Amino acid sequence: MIRVVVVEDEPLAREHLVELLSELPGVAVVGAAENGRVGLAAIAEHRPDAVFLDIEMPGIKGTELMHLLPEPRPGLVFVTAYPQHAIEAFAGGAVHYLLKPISRIAVAQALSRIRPKDEPLQKEWLRLPVRKKGTTRLLRPEEVDALVADLGDCMAWTAEGRLPVDGTLLHWEERLSDHGFLRVHRNALVRLEAVRELTAEDELILGGGRLSISRRRMEEVRRVLGL
The domains located in the chain, with CATH, are 2-124 (3.40.50.2300), 127-224 (2.40.50.1020)
pLDDT of res. 30: 95
The H or E element spanning position 138 is strand 135-139
**Rg over CA atoms, the chain:** 21
Nearest to 30 by CA among 20, 15, 43, 40: 43
In terms of DSSP bridges, do strands 153-158 and 144-150 run parallel, antiparallel, or are they unpaired?
Answer: antiparallel
pLDDT of res. 124: 67
pLDDT of res. 23: 83
**Residues of the chain falling short of pLDDT 50:** none
Cα Dmax for the chain: 68
Contact 183, 141 (CB under 8 A): no
pTM: 0.58
pLDDT of res. 207: 87
